[in-house]
Amino acid sequence: MDLATRYLGLALANPLIASSSPLTGALDNLRRLEDAGAAAVVLPSIFEEQIAAETAERERLARLSEGFPEASSFFPAGSVPEAGPHEQLALIARARAALSIPVIASLNGTTEFGWIEYARLVEQAGAQAIEINVYFPPVEPTLDGTAVERRHLAVLEALKRTVSVPVAMKLTPAFSAPGAVIRALDAAGADGFVLFNRLYQPDINLAALRPSRQAILSSRSEIGPGLLWIGALAGRLRGSLAAGTGVETAEEVIKYLLVGADTVMSTAALLRHGPAYLQALLEGLERWGQARGFASIESLRGCMSQAAVGRAMRMERGDYIQILQGFTPILPGAQGGE
Amino acid sequence: MANRATMDGNTAVAHVAYRVNEVCAIFPITPSSTMAELADEWAAAGLRNIWGGVPVVQEMQSEGGAAGAVHGALQSGALTTTFTASQGLLLMLPNMFKIAGELTPTVFHVAARSVATQALSIFGDHSDVMAVRSAGFAQLCSGSVQEAHDLALVAQAATLASRMPILHFFDGFRTSHEVNTLELLSDTQIRAMIDDDLVRAHRARALDPEHPVVRGTAHNPDTFFQARETVNPFYAAMPGHVQDAMDRFAVLTGRAYRLFEYTGPADAEHVVVVMGSGAETARATAAALNARGRKLGVLQVRLFRPFGAAAFLAALPGSVRAIAVLERTKEPGAPGEPLYQDVVTTLAEAVADGARAIMPRVIGGRFGLSSKDFTPAMAGAVFDELARAAPRRGFTVGIDDDVMHTSLSVPMDFPPEPEDEVRAVFYGLGSDGTVGANKNSVKILAEDGTRYAQGYFVYDSHKSGAETVSHLRFGPRPIRAPYLIAQANFIACHHWGFVGRRDILRLAAPGATLLLNSPFGPDLIWNHLPRAMQTRIRALGLRLFVIDASRTAQDVGLRGRTNTILQTCFFAIAGVLPRAEAIERIKHAIRKSYGAKGEEVVQRNFQAVDGTLARLAEVPVHNAVTATWERPPPVSANAPGFVQQVTAAMLDGRGDDIPVSLMPVDGTFPLGTAAFEKRDIAEDVPVWVPDVCIQCGQCGFVCPHGVIRAKYYDAGRLADAPDGFLSAPINARGYPDVAFTLQLYLEDCTGCGLCVEACPALSPTEPGRKAINLHHKGGRAIAERPRIDFFEHLPLNDRARVDLATVRGVQFLEPLFAFSGACAGCGETPYLKLLSQLFGDRMMVANATGCSSIYGGNLPVTPWAKNAEGRGPAWSNSLFEDNAEFGLGFRLAVDQHVELARRLATALAPRLGADDVAAMLDAPQRQESEIRAQRARLEALLPRIAALGDDPAARDLLSVVDHLVRRSIWIVGGDGWAYDIGYGGLDHVLASARDVNVLVLDTEVYSNTGGQASKATPLGAIARFAAAGKRTARKDLALQAIAYGNVYVAQVAMGANPQQTLLAFREAEAYPGPSLILAYSHCIAHGYDLRHGLRQQDLAAASGYWPLFRYNPAMRTVGENPFRLDSPRPAIPFRDYAYNEIRYRALAQARPEEAAQLLAAAQTAIDEKYRTYEEMAGWHAGRFHPPVPAAT
């Protein structure tokens, strides 16, 4: 089976990408991912706030040492680089030298200045594409949806002006009309979309009476929004589509491809099982495709998408009603009630 | 424009010294450290000398070591230099005799500094260079930044030509730290001054097995003398060599120098002879007075040794009738200071020989000790003195000597400074970036080559909330004014709190511009100024501008960078340039700094400049003085007389006015004065929540400034408590009606937040709320005053009833170390405070020079305090290098006096009561209750001894009987002392088996001098002198001490386990032999917010980097393993601890591959070391060597 696909204009050997996670932060892991068959890797995000905080801290320390008659500063001049994504940039360069698969950098920022500065740096360091993670939960109730959308657009436009490598946007589904937003971003020049980023899920630790901060890996039950919106958008965009939540087994990979994803990204499964698990996903995909007689990824991609099956959007509501009406709740104490 | 640059004197000298040497052996000492630091940085960056090589820069363990290494490198043929000052130079003295005796060319660059006498001073005078004048080095003195730069090269050329070593010196701070515009020597010019044949000749004289010789032999009486006289021709030729080098230099650069530079009319009658920066002042003064018709000259001495008598006489006009020799040193007991003696001798010999017709009257006087400002007015006073019929010898100028009346009276307003100069004075906080912004302004404004600039910065001695005063001059000519600004036409006050505390208009010239950073806008500010200030603003016709820099910084996107905001305001209104041009200049600088980051970043900074200017407002000066309040006095009216008279003046910035008669004659000062200095520097302060508090004592335990105090007391007393006085029922069974209060001294707090971090108690109902939380200070500090007063009147808790074995118990012990000026969040001071709580009333402290001696003993105040009984730590600092020996001296004296007291008491026992004397002499004194009991016995005995009247034995006994209460001897210092400069002494003291306790406040760098690497600095961390990252592991001082077998050794980290720290302190003190405690002390030199200091300590222990342990030899005597590992196996990788700190992370960012290797090596070392400790913890007692006698 021909697994080749394209993403962000890059030719990939297969549709499986190791997405941004702590796993992709070490060169050894990146090598192992490539060996396991990853078609591309997305490196850990560069967080603008972290760099800003570090910059502020260094400025504060520099100011602090000025007050001493006996010390001009506590570190030799030039020995402390300006705060910045030094380790990440070094990793990009080393990954490019060590790997033959594309290396995608990930940026997670809040301001246009941060995006631009770091996008330029990662491009210079050799990243072949940039994934921007516009993680911006609009929890401030006075912020309206239009403003949020405008912000996404502004970030994209600033980035596209700055770099020449392709730019993918990693989005959450928290828009009133995700499809329209994505189309607008597509029209503004986004080279691809990663659907979806999950919003922060708050929890509370009752024993300590404080917010719980456990990172919960995604599970296969969460693939629904991705299936829906990739299905709705496949074939209707200039840019590529990557699916990115809830990949536990090859089944989720196949489902995403069937609704029209160009590539599928995995974080949770690789964190759970290690880089070698990527090979298992790939083999599962290939086995299924061959069993079903698909000669290539191209031939199976999108065959279940909205566009491919020609369903009208209104039919979706029909499905929804049908599902709800067909649902029989199990209530406490209901056993043996009849 | 030639190659013009702006830099300080140290940089100007190092620039040359680095380029003309192959080896630099270095050790940090203020104010010379910068030269060594630059050499290290340049070498790390691969900067090459004029021969294309990168000089090797080697940090040594002391200046003595540096001099030894210099000597060795010179003997081996390398061009070698070193940089030093003060005691450092004195430590080099033995080698200097050798180097000179062997006619070895080298230049030592010295930022001349006071030698410690009745007190240490880091500031500048010539007492160090004068103390080494017999060593045989030539001594060449520079008087300005330009001169120091130029003569550094002249010295190198002359030493090679003459074979005589040269000590090139310039005034510490005044020249070493003054930023000034200078013509920078090009490498071509430097190259042209150095004759390679002479370099080869130096190399040819080196020790070489191919042509072996012996040097450094020992002579007998038959030959030593003659051999010593062989060098005379070299000394005779030396002035000629130096002048030759100066003349060649003049041809190359156009800047001409003379050995003795005379300035003034050829028929001058009165001349001042002076060395160093004072010459600039004297020249400017003479010129001003000559313009009024006087005939005054100034003779600047550049080459002091060998003293070129012929050149001196040639330079001095024959018309001179009176000479004043001004000296920046004091030689007590001499007929005059050294230069005076040379001048008198030279003139006397010339007159006697007939070479000179008349012997002028020569007087000598002292000025400028310890960087005391030397102003034109003072120079004028000296000229006036010369004009008197009977001018005084041995005068002083610049102080009020009301004891021996040596001081000259100084006119107040003489002479005016040039009108075409802008003189700007800035009052800032040490941490607000004012100094950095001003250095930047000097560079920006001087860089176009049309303007000259000077910057000089005055600091107070606090490490937190320090006040800085920046003095900046800008003008069309080179600025030769090595003294503070007295008439400023621009004054900026960057910290609103100063308005109510300092006389910030003291230096204002009429019509000056005043910029205030204030939360009150143009409409409100007038009414918030004190009355005296309003009056002066009106009287002087000042223009007043105001800006809220914090708010503006936030508004324009530069949060926290108030210095940038205020710098913009300075450019706009100070008048150095027309406003539009000045703003253009700032924007040009921004483009230069941020251009590489993209146009967006540049534009954002431009917007910040425009936004700042929009918020800068001129305030119309009111036509009436409306204020009814004045600045409060610097100390409360309850303070003792000495504090009122002396300390208060220093705190108020009037220390220069204190007369001689008010100063202690022998450097003895009273304790507890920090308590009178209410600095009120915290923005956020802790607030106690009694109903959440579990009264564990952790917050007070870790508080670096001793501002958290606990007491328990009869709840009935609360009836008289002032409003808002907080209390809770004591959290202990069996104490009904007993209340507990945690009192916070908010005006002494720095707001570091360590207390909040340490607090383990969380509110069950309010998430995140602890029993102590930081809140914005607002009016809390003032509101707290009556509560503190009430708290202080509650009875102190009885030490005999407090459980000293628990952190909870310790909170009830009064700290006798509190309110120091240490850094906010300091990691050292909590340990000292704990010592003072446990043993303070019977403790003697020998304190090595370093941070702890500065926050512990730098005037105006000391945090060491005494208790209500009048007892407290007796503290002293000797030197950096000798502290263990100094402390051992305490022990030896104490042991002698204990023995004397016992002998006398025994002899007098029949008359004093045999049983009582026996009880006292036999009493155990290990527990606090036993100490209290012994004090009671002593109190009972004292009247009986006194009753014996004039019996000599009784009087002797009275003089030593206090020793019968066991004294606790503590030797305290940092790792620079313990691991490096004082290691030999420390080792010897530990081996002495004497009962001394050594506390090493281990910050792993020389914190006080700016974070230079010590042997405690860990592998992979960057530090000054380890710019490329430390390549060797930290020395395991603990294991070395354990190897003695009979030394109590503990490694502690308060943030990881406070209880273990407490246990170790008490065990060490109780152990009747030498004890060594290594205390992890987080420090700003580690590069992170110290609020997280306790967490880092915890991580250090958790990673196994800093395992906690105790080695108690006493356990061996009972057959137990003396080594206890108190922290668990490493639970986290070293990286998780280390990479929270810039000292480690910087290398990972700058050189990731190397950092990764060093990190791996560090992890391996930690794992191996932990295995060693773990194995030791499992040994049986017999495996520890050598055998020790049973403890007594």
Q: Which of B397, B412, B439 is the last residue of a domain?
A: B397
Measured in angstroms, the CA of A58 and the nearest CA of chain B are apart by 8
**Helix (H) or strand (E) segment spanning residue B893:** helix B883-912
User: What is the C-alpha radius of gyration for chain B, rounded to an integer number of angstroms?
Assistant: 32
Do A67 and B40 lie within an 8 Å CB cutoff? no
Of B31, B122, B560, the CB nearest to A56: B560
Q: pLDDT tens across B807-830, in order?
A: 999 999 999 999 999 999 999 999
What distance in Å separates residue B1085's CA from the closest CA in chain A?
5
Q: Is B256 on the interface with A (CB under 8 A)?
A: no
In this predicted structure, what is the pLDDT of residue A312? 41
Catalytic residue, candidates B11, B59, B113, B174: B113
Judged by DSSP in three states, B1106 sits in: coil
382-441 in B: which are within 8 Å (CB) of A? 429-436
Q: Residue B37 and residue A84: Cβ atoms within 8 Å?
A: no
Rounded to whole angstroms, the Cα distance separating B981 from B975 reads 9
Nearest to A74 among B1011, B1028, B1152 (CB): B1011
> Is B468 an interface residue toward A (CB < 8 Å)?
yes
Between these two residues, B734 and A313, which has the higher pLDDT value?
B734
Residue B536 domain-assigned? yes
Give the closest-approach CA distance of A210 to chain B in angstroms.
Answer: 6
Nearest CA in chain B to A162: B598
Q: Do B576 and B658 belong together in one domain?
A: no
In a domain, residue B1033? The reply is yes
- Name the closest residue on chain B to residue A77, using Cα atoms: B41
What total of structural domains would you count in chain B? 7
Asked whether residue B182 falls in the same domain as residue B131, the answer is: yes
Note whether residue B218 is domain-resident.
no
Same domain, B456 and B432: yes
Q: What percentage of residues in chain B have a pLDDT greater than 70?
A: 99
- In the predicted model, what is the mean pLDDT of chain B? 95
**Cα-Cα-Cα-Cα dihedral sign, residues B558, B563, B566, B572:** negative
Residues of A within 8 A of B114 (CB-CB) are none
Residue B1004: is its pLDDT beyond 50?
A: yes
Sequential pLDDT tens for chain A (338 residues): 899 999 999 999 999 999 999 899 999 999 999 999 999 999 999 988 888 888 888 888 888 878 888 987 888 888 888 888 888 899 999 999 999 999 999 998 767 777 778 898 999 999 999 999 887 777 788 888 898 899 899 889 989 998 999 999 999 888 999 999 999 999 999 999 999 987 777 788 887 777 776 667 788 888 888 999 999 999 999 999 999 889 999 999 999 999 999 999 998 889 999 999 999 999 999 999 999 999 999 999 988 876 544 554 444 556 666 665 665 555 554 444 33
Q: Please say whether the beta carbons of B72 and B64 come within 8 A.
A: no
Q: Do B1087 and A74 touch (CB under 8 A)?
A: yes
**Domain check: are B1062 and B1155 in the same one?**
yes
Q: Per-residue pLDDT for B950 more than 80? A: yes
Do B235 and B290 lie in a common domain?
no
- Distance, in Å, from the CA atom of B228 to the CA atom of B101, rounded to the nearest integer, reads 8
Cβ contacts (< 8 Å) between B462 and chain A: which residues? 67
Which residue would you say has higher pLDDT here, A311 or B957?
A: B957
Q: Is B113 a catalytic residue?
A: yes
Give me the interface pTM, i.e. the ipTM: 0.87
Same domain, B198 and B299: no
Chain B hits for A52, Cβ within 8 Å:
none
Residues B552 and B480 in one domain: yes
Identify from A27, A66, A92 which residue to disrupt to test chain B contact, counting B C-beta atoms within 10 A and taking the largest count: A66
Q: Which residue's entry shows tokens 């910057």?
A: B455
> What distances in angstroms separate CA B119 from CA B328, B668, B874, B978, one per listed residue?
17, 9, 16, 22
d(CA B126, CA B148): 15
One-character DSSP codes across B670-700: -S-GGGG------SEEEEE-TTT-----HHH
Residue % of chain B over a pLDDT of 90? 91
Q: How far apart are CA B81 and CA B77, in angstroms?
A: 12
B1154 inside domain: yes
The answer to whether residue B558 neighbours chain A at the CB level (below 8 Å) is: no
- Nearest beta carbon to residue A74 from set B44, B45, B1084: B1084
Q: Pick the residue from chain B with its C-alpha nearest to A73.
A: B1010
What SS3 string covers B403-438? CCCCECCCCCCCCCCCCCCEEEEEEEECCCCHHHHH
Q: Could you read off the pLDDT of B1072-1111 as tens digits, one per residue?
A: 999 999 999 999 999 999 999 999 999 999 999 999 999 9
Residues from chain A that touch B173, judged by Cβ atoms under 8 A, are 69
Q: Which own/partner pairs from A198-203 qualify as long-range (CB within 8 Å, at least 24 positions apart)?
A: A198/A172, A198/A222, A198/A245, A199/A137, A199/A172, A199/A174, A200/A137
CA B367 remoteness from chain centre: 22
Identify the CATH assignment for A5-62+82-201+215-325 out of 3.40.109.10, 3.20.20.70, 3.40.190.10, 3.40.50.300: 3.20.20.70
Asked if residue B888 is part of any domain, the answer here is no
Within 172-211 of B, beta carbons closer than 8 Å to A belong to 173
Q: Say yes or no for a CB contact (<8 Å) between B1146 and A68.
A: no
CB contact under 8 A, B600 and A209: no
Q: What is the DSSP-derived secondary structure letter of residue B979? A: I
Q: Are B788 and B698 within one domain? A: yes
Could you confirm whether B623 is annotated as catalytic? no
Q: Which residue's entry shows tokens 């100034």?
A: B298
Task: Select from B760, B778, B813 the last residue of a domain.
Answer: B813
**Is the CB of A75 less than 8 angstroms away from the CB of B598?**
no
CB contact under 8 A, A67 and B1152: no
Domain boundary among B964, B988, B1014: B964
Chain B: residue whose CA lies nearest to A78:
B41
Tell me if B221 is assigned to some domain.
no
Residue to test with chain B: of A50, A51, A75, most B Cβ within 10 A: A75
Report the CATH number at residue B285.
Answer: 3.40.50.920
Distances (CA, A) of B936 to B872, B920, B923, B931: 17, 10, 12, 9
* Residue B33 sits at the chain A interface (C-beta within 8 Å): yes
Most B CBs within 10 A among A28, A61, A65, A70, hence the mutation to make, goes to A70
From the list B37, B435, B1142, the residue facing A80 with the nearest CB is B1142
Which chain A residue has its CA at the smallest distance from B465's CA?
Answer: A67
Size of interface A-B (CB pairs under 8 A): 146
B656 and B680 belong to one structural domain: no
B303 strand-pairing partners: B140
Cβ contact, residue pair B1150, A113, below 8 Å: no
Which pLDDT score, from 0 to 100, does residue A86 have? 86
B461: contact with A, CB 8 A cutoff: yes
| Shortest Cα distance, chain B CAs vs residue A134, angstroms | 20
Confidence label for B976 from pLDDT (cuts 50, 70 and 90): very high
Same domain, B136 and B89: yes
- Are A59 and B1148 within 8 A, CB to CB? no
Residue A303: its pLDDT value, please?
86
B69 vs B75: CA distance, rounded Å: 10
Residues of A in contact with B556 (CB under 8 A): none
| B63 is an active site residue | yes
Q: Find all residues with CB under 8 Å of B354, minimum gap 6, and list them.
A: none
B937 lies in which domain range?
Answer: 894-964
Contact at CB, A60 and B31, closer than 8 angstroms: no
Same domain as B808, residue B716: yes
Which CATH number belongs to the domain containing residue B1091 in this structure?
A: 3.40.50.970
Both B459 and B560 in one domain: the answer is yes
- Would you tell me which residues 881-920 of chain B have a C-beta closer than 8 angstroms to some C-beta of chain A? none
Residues of chain B contacting A158 with CB distance shorter than 8 Å: 600
Q: Does the CB of B760 have a partner CB in chain A at under 8 Å?
A: no
Dihedral sign from CA coordinates of B777, B782, B787, B789: positive
* Contact assessment for residue A261 and residue A230, using Cβ atoms and an 8 Å cutoff: yes
**Could B431 and A66 be called an inter-chain contact, meaning their C-beta atoms sit closer than 8 Å?**
yes
pLDDT value at position A329?
54
B617's tokens = 């407002």
Rounded mean pLDDT of B595-613? Answer: 86
